[in-house]
């Protein structure tokens, strides 16, 4: 894109209006980061640290394991996991061999999971062992042929139950011997960590994430390697004063949502940052992990920040390491921003997007003017227009509310097996979001309602 828009004047210094996107897939990004920052901590899970060179090795080994049980390029690997090391390993291994990672919410209704797994045509499922009875029931009602169970205890320090009292006492479900049923670590241990050739291609689908969308009906959003890589590059360019290989991010957003997957995990790997995994984003858990790991970036939804502010231990928690707060899921109320600023004076970056955008479309400028109550301006390489909600054909001026539409490299390929629904929201390269909002004279977006 080569254009000038009202929001470009609102960008912080050193943030480019356009990006020359690097054609690099996420598995290639991991290999590059593991080479550039081999001894940098990639993941922290309950005080267990995994270095980037170790993560690269684990991904290669699991990629070979998936190949052994029959996963081929273009196949879909289903995952029902919280934020844990196995989630990252499985996702990147699937993408490395050219497969599609389909991620599901462990708390979804069984009927929704059955419909989504069948829609994805998945034959392999990677799941948390504590969901064993439910998963085995899913196997009987879907096309799943092979299941790989992951134990929380696989990557816990000892003694985890004393160090982390908020964890459930039942950390391990005994898995019986059964055809097509595997355990993560034993399966991983049977394969070498020699490099696996990257089979991911730029325009191929990398991930399948399910969303209710505008109609409420479940739809699989197809995100390509190009979508995910470009959105990560846009996010990295948004904060040029942060340092590759030096920051750490608290992963409170679940990875089965695009906000957690792209906005946290993939961005961390792209920049060589440390991802502090939070499988249970409750205030007392978040505060405990913050105190021990001291993140430099603190993401959260408004409900999480409200819970932290109301917690008696929050004011006693040091935020000296935090360089900025990232807000997703919904605009942060002005009064909450004021309370946060009273505790920690730093950037409060409200983001806006949706799964169909990989997911980020706008953000408060990092190091620029913050306008509480807005969700910022479009990211570099992103175009935005407001159109009349009735026909979607008439572009509206600043200050007038209408349907929000995006164009950019992060716009999804489409909905899986749903051409009619895809045509309804993708028109001439524009994504019609179904959200209502307006732009001000500086290009800041304010959300008003749903269509």
Asked if residue 18 has a cis previous peptide bond (ω within 30° of 0), the answer is no
208: phi then psi, degrees, rounded to nearest 5: -125, 110
User: Residue 173 has what pLDDT?
Assistant: 64
Going by pLDDT thresholds of 50, 70 and 90, the confidence category of residue 161 is very low
pLDDT at residue 344 tops 80: no
pLDDT of residue 215: 54
pLDDT exceeds 70 at position 3: no
Count of CB atoms situated within 10 Å of the CB of 203? 10
Strand order, beta sheet including 146-150: 181-183, 146-150, 124-128, 76-80, 100-104, 205-211, 219-224, 414-415
- pLDDT recorded at residue 349: 92
Compute the chain's Rg from CA coordinates. 21
Instruction: Please determine, for residue 294, whether its predicted confidence score (pLDDT) is greater than 60.
Output: yes
120-144 core/surface letters (b: 16 or more CB in 10 A; e: else): bbbbbbbbbbbbbeebeebbeebeb
Per cent of the chain over pLDDT 70 is 94
Backbone angles phi and psi of 402, in degrees to 5: -165, -170
Report if residue 99 sits inside a domain: yes
Residue 146 included in any domain:
yes
Dihedral of alpha carbons 126, 129, 131, 134, sign: positive
Rounded Cα–Cα distance for residues 169 and 358 (Å):
36
Please state, for a pLDDT cut of 90, what percent of the chain lies above it. Answer: 75
- Tell me if 106 is assigned to some domain: yes
pLDDT of residue 71: 98
Identify the band that residue 162 occupies on the pLDDT scale cut at 50, 70 and 90: very low
- Single out the residue of 389, 363, 372, 378 nearest to residue 450, CA to CA: 389
- Look up the CATH number of the domain holding residue 90: 3.40.50.980
Q: Is the pLDDT of residue 393 over 70?
A: yes
Total number of domains constituting the chain: 1
78 domain-assigned: yes
Within-domain flag for 366: no
**Are 101 and 265 spatial neighbours (Cβ–Cβ below 8 Å)?**
no
Average pLDDT over the chain reads 92
pLDDT band at 284 (very low <50, low <70, confident <90, very high): confident
Average pLDDT over residues 66-85: 97
**Over 70: is that where the pLDDT of 160 sits?**
no
Per the CB < 8 A criterion, the answer to whether 275 and 249 are in contact is yes
Angle at 267 between CA 46 and CA 45, to 5 degrees: 5
Please give the average per-residue pLDDT across 328-338, as a whole number.
81
**Strand-strand pairing, 181-183 and 146-150:** parallel
Please tell me the predicted confidence (pLDDT) of residue 302: 87
Residue 204 pLDDT greater than 50, yes or no: yes
120 is a domain residue: yes
pLDDT at 257 over 50: yes
> Is the residue at 161 inside a domain?
yes
Domain range for 124: 51-200
**Quick check: is 313 in a domain?**
no
Q: How much is the average pLDDT of 248-277?
A: 95
């Amino acid at each position: 894109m080569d254009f000038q828009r009202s929001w470009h004047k609102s960008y912080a210094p050193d943030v480019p209006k356009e990006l020359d996107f690097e054609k690099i897939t996420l598995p290639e990004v991991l290999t590059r980061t593991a080479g550039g920052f081999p001894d940098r901590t990639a993941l922290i899970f309950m005080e267990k640290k995994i270095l980037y060179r170790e993560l690269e090795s684990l991904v290669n080994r699991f990629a070979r394991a998936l190949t052994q049980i029959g996963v081929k390029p273009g196949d879909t690997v289903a995952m029902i996991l919280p934020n844990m090391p196995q989630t990252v390993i499985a996702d990147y291994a699937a993408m490395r061999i050219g497969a599609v990672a389909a991620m599901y919410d462990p708390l979804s209704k069984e009927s929704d999971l059955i419909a989504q797994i069948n829609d994805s045509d998945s034959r392999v499922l990677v799941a948390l062992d504590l969901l064993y009875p439910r998963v085995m029931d899913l196997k009987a009602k879907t096309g799943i042929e092979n299941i790989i169970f992951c134990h929380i205890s696989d990557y816990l320090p000892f003694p985890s139950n004393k160090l982390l009292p908020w964890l459930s006492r039942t950390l391990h479900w005994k898995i019986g011997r059964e055809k097509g049923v595997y355990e993560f670590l034993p399966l991983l241990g049977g394969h070498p960590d020699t490099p696996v050739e990257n089979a991911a291609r730029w325009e191929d689908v990398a991930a399948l994430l399910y969303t209710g969308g505008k109609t409420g009906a479940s739809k699989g959003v197809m995100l390509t390697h190009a979508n995910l890589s470009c959105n990560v590059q846009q996010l990295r360019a948004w904060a040029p004063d942060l340092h590759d290989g030096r920051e750490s991010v608290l992963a409170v957003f679940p990875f089965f949502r695009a906000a957690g997957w792209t906005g946290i995990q993939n961005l961390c790997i792209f920049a060589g940052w440390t991802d502090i995994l939070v499988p249970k984003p409750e205030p007392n858990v978040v505060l405990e992990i913050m105190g021990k790991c001291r993140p430099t970036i603190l993401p959260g939804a408004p409900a999480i920040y409200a819970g932290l502010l109301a917690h008696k231990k929050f004011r006693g928690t040091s935020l000296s390491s935090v360089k900025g707060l990232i807000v997703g899921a919904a605009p942060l109320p002005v009064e909450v921003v004021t309370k946060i600023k009273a505790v920690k004076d730093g950037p409060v970056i409200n983001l806006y997007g949706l799964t169909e955008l990989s997911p980020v479309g706008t953000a408060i400028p990092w190091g620029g003017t913050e306008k509480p109550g807005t969700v910022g301006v479009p990211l570099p390489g992103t175009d935005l227009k407001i159109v009349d909600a009735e026909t979607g054909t008439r572009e509206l001026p600043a200050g007038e509310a209408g349907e929000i539409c995006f164009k950019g490299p992060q716009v999804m390929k489409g909905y899986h097996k749903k051409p009619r629904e895809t045509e309804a929201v993708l028109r001439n390269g524009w994504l019609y979001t179904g959200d209502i909002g307006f732009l001000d004279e500086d290009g800041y977006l304010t959300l008003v309602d749903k269509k």
